[in-house]
Amino acid sequence: MLYFYHAYSTLNLTQSNEVRNIDISVMTRLSAIELNDTLNGIFIYNYGSIPAHITEVIIDNITYSINFTLEPNQIVPLSAILGNNYNKNTAMELTTDMLILNVNGVIETIYF
d(CA 3, CA 9): 10
Write out pLDDT tens, residues 30-40: 999 999 888 88
Task: Report, at the CATH architecture level, how domain 2-111 is classified.
Answer: Sandwich (2.60)
Give the CA radius of gyration of the chain.
17
Q: Is 13 exposed, middle or buried (0-12, 13-18, 19+ CB in 10 A)?
A: exposed
Write out pLDDT tens, residues 50-95: 999 999 999 888 899 999 999 999 999 999 999 988 766 555 677 7
CA distances from 42 to 15, 18, 63, 103 (A): 36, 31, 17, 18
The pTM of the full predicted model, rounded to 2 decimals, is 0.72
Residue 71 has a pLDDT of 95
